[in-house]
Structure 1
Amino acid sequence: MINTKYYIFVRVGTLRARFRNRMLRSNQLITSTPKLLRKFFSSKSSSVLHRPSSEELEITERSKNLLVMASSCKIKDQFHEFFPEMLRCLKNSPPLHKLPSMQEWVEKIVEYNLKGGKMNRGMAVVESFMILKNHQVSEEEKNTAIALGWAVEMLQAFFLVADDIMDGSLTRRMKPCWYRTNNLGVKAFNDSILLESLIYQIVSSYCKNQHYYLPVLELFHDVTMRTSLGQAMDLHSAPNPNEAPDLSKFTVETYDAIVKYKTAYYSFYLPVAVAMRLAGIQDNDLLKRAEDILLPMGRFFQVQDDYLDCFGDPEITGKIGTDIEDGKCSWLIVTALPMCDSAQRQLIEAHYGLKNTESVNLVKSLYQQFDIPKLYTEYEERSYKELTQMIEGIKHQLPTSIFQGFMEKIYKRLN
């Protein structure tokens, strides 16, 4: 029995080794497991009244974590394997089945814009659902969760295609942005609208006759609206073409509002809320408790994204950052502005939002003077501790592994 468990643990570590952010923690965990397991299974006490030692509790928790990792690997394979079925369903839907040329175009759009990412949002639907159901689900239930996971990825693709056009971005997921392919230009904006419409084809195809159909539909509509509002706030805080940004708009309050609506709702709250609805959870108070953790987690994620836009490696992030050139209200600029003296503020006013290498480098140099990388590291550690405490506080209402899974994926991430 010990050898079998040990093999599973080592195999899991091997499968997950390609994920750089998690490799070190996984290897440390696996290395320490055999000794702990031997001590645990050689325990002579079998009394019902036996109180587990801290070491035994540690073994149990580590075993659970590794089994969750094994399940996550399996879910990822199943998630990708379901893609052709989801695409077939879309192409055969009533609006498309008599339009072969549009079937081909939709397939091209979906293939290009949904594949190549980490799929964290979509898989979070499936993983959260499996945890909430204690992994006791039918094949049909699992497929529905996977389909809705792809619907979340479709929502992500819809926003990214439109966002890249508005920002004039060059690359996405280590390849040209969609609008820069097929000689599309701004015509690609209609493809973003197509992607949004496909979300509701998926929801209808897989949920129409289920009790959770309306709640899930309302979730997608509500989150789409909130994210669009966040995108609008982001655009309104940015400068008009050929104009300098209004730095008076770049406040922490403005930044927090943008992040909450533009990122946190669809990236963190939506996947878990969909899973909770699928699992039959109708308690709005529980949804609110989950939201109270997931929205701050979304802020944590966006701050990371802002930092990586400036200081990340494009070969790892898959995109070339443009926040400085675009004059974005990012965490870096709202952190730096209060530290500026008059000369430094004038430098930012003169160069922030200009699309030339010299101006970008001057702003980055100023960030280095303010020790922004160090401040970011401190923020990351502080946020991780605060979120961990929040997760601990919900353990009697919802499985903490749902939220810990998110943290495992984003903590210390490089892309």
Structure 2
Amino acid sequence: MSRQFVRSVIKNLKGEVCHLMSNSLKGREHEMFHSRLEKNFAYNMGDGKCARAALGMDIYNALCPTATEEDKTNAAKVCITNELLQTFLLVTDDIMDNATTRRGKPCWYKLDGIGLSAINDGLLLDSAIDQLIRSVISNHPKKDAILRDVNETKRVTIIGQTLDSLMAGIDGCTWERYKQVVAHKTSHYTYLLPLQLGFHLADRVDYKELDDYLDIFGDHTITGKTPTDIAEGKCTWISCKALDIMRDPKTNQNLLKEFTNNFNKEDDKCVARVKEIFTDLKLDSEFKKFEKTESDEMEKLLEQIQVNEVRPILQDTLAQLSGRKN
């Protein structure tokens, strides 16, 4: 229900965001800017899953079951700023990764007439976050706390983005780096910020009790089997685990040599060979073992959460994360 509600709010939010960002302009300049931002918002914000905003709304609804429709709508707008943050990061990340598609369609910077000006378009979406929060909840007692946590999330995530882009290749595939990239680049804005927003919007202060439990969600942001990750030599769970296995003297050392020769190369044949090596190493099976161990531990920790309204939401999030629920 929260996801459907969030999507309905996003449809009506484009005009509000464009107005907030363009109200200092006049005449033709206003029309040009408004048109560009409207196109930017519609293209980049229209097809996401809205999982982060929906999680924030799930938390808010659980803590404020009697909230008015107006309060729910305003809460949704604030939670949607997390989607704006993610979209800003994806627009710029696609340029850094030289990606071609995003969500089944060409990346924004690949469109005719866009190019590297997409960097500025991403910054526009980012700057809209602060404007929207200040406009929607100008008198909310936790407004400053929300702005603080959103800005902290940006800082942490951009650090993770930087780590992810540095030192590609085998030398950069270490568990220490992987853990830090995941903790900074993904888990903070995917799990911690939605929780913070939900609690702040409900004017609750007991979310800090959950910080330790939120950390455990980070390791599940895994994948690392996409052609882009392989071609760019990204540090992922898959690449780190593969190297662990191949460096074992009991493993055929020719695999490590082949992996070294094909990993971090933008060549379809090289990417295909690396994927074959992943299959030969039975990494799918290895991941399932890891996931089962982690999920069991997470379930035990979640049972200890004292905020009863929130526990089932995090348990549901774990179920989706573990592939047990769509």
Deviation, 1:385, is 1.4
Aligned-residue identity in percent: 26
Task: Name 1:376's counterpart in structure 2.
Answer: 287
What SS class does the counterpart of residue 327 from structure 1 fall into?
Answer: coil
1:299 maps to 2:219: yes
For residues 313-359 of structure 1, the C-alpha deviation after alignment (integer angstroms, 9 at most, x for no partner) is: xxxxxxxx410001101111100112115433222221111111111
- Structure 1 residues 94 and 325, CA, compared in 2 at 3 Å: closer, same or farther? closer
| TM-score relative to the length of structure 2 | 0.91
Task: Name 1:272's counterpart in structure 2.
Answer: 195
Task: Name 2:240's counterpart in structure 1.
Answer: 334
For residues 74-122 of structure 1, the C-alpha deviation after alignment (integer angstroms, 9 at most, x for no partner) is: x333222222432222222264463121111111111111111211111
What SS class does the counterpart of residue 93 from structure 1 fall into?
Answer: helix
Task: Name 1:91's counterpart in structure 2.
Answer: 18
1:130 maps to 2:130: no
Is the Cα contact below 8 Å between 2:44 and 2:108 reproduced in 1? yes
Deviation, 1:170, is 1.4
1:358 maps to 2:281: no
1:250 maps to 2:163: no
Moved more, 80-89 or 112-121: 80-89
Is the Cα contact below 8 Å between 1:179 and 1:187 reproduced in 2? yes
Structure 2 residue identity aligned to 1:151: T
What SS class does the counterpart of residue 287 from structure 2 fall into?
Answer: helix
Structure with higher Rg: it is 1
Moved more, 108-117 or 257-266: 108-117
- Structure 1 residues 105 and 96, CA, compared in 2 at 3 Å: closer, same or farther? farther
For residues 40-77 of structure 1, the C-alpha deviation after alignment (integer angstroms, 9 at most, x for no partner) is: xxxxxxxxxxxxxxxxxxxxxxxxxxxxxxxx2xx333
Instruction: Give structure 1 stretches of 5+ with no counterpart.
Output: 1-71, 239-244, 310-320
Mapped partners of 1:264, 1:387: distance in 2 = 15
| TM-score relative to the length of structure 1 | 0.73
Mapped partners of 2:191, 2:116: distance in 1 = 29
- Structure 1 residues 264 and 90, CA, compared in 2 at 3 Å: closer, same or farther? same
Q: Runs (4+) of structure 1 moved beyond 3 Å?
A: 94-97, 395-398
Mapped partners of 2:47, 2:324: distance in 1 = 17
Moved more, 115-124 or 391-400: 391-400
1:104 maps to 2:25: no
Deviation, 1:375, is 0.7
Mapped partners of 1:413, 1:103: distance in 2 = 43
- For residues 184-263 of structure 1, the aligned pairs below 5 Å read 184-238=114-168, 245=169, 247-263=170-186
Task: Name 2:5's counterpart in structure 1.
Answer: 78
Task: Name 2:93's counterpart in structure 1.
Answer: 163
Deviation, 1:188, is 1.0
Task: Name 2:250's counterpart in structure 1.
Answer: none
For residues 359-411 of structure 1, the C-alpha deviation after alignment (integer angstroms, 9 at most, x for no partner) is: 11111111112110111111222222111111101145662122023123322
Moved more, 257-266 or 390-399: 390-399
Deviation, 1:295, is 2.6
- Structure 1 residues 148 and 235, CA, compared in 2 at 3 Å: closer, same or farther? same
RMSD: 1.9
Task: Name 2:52's counterpart in structure 1.
Answer: 121
For residues 258-289 of structure 1, the C-alpha deviation after alignment (integer angstroms, 9 at most, x for no partner) is: 00000000011101111111111224xx42x3
Mapped partners of 1:177, 1:355: distance in 2 = 18
Structure 2 residue identity aligned to 1:163: D
Structure 1 residue identity aligned to 2:196: A
What SS class does the counterpart of residue 20 from structure 2 fall into?
Answer: coil
Is the Cα contact below 8 Å between 1:269 and 1:290 reproduced in 2? no
Is the Cα contact below 8 Å between 1:116 and 1:173 reproduced in 2? yes
Structure 2 residue identity aligned to 1:390: L
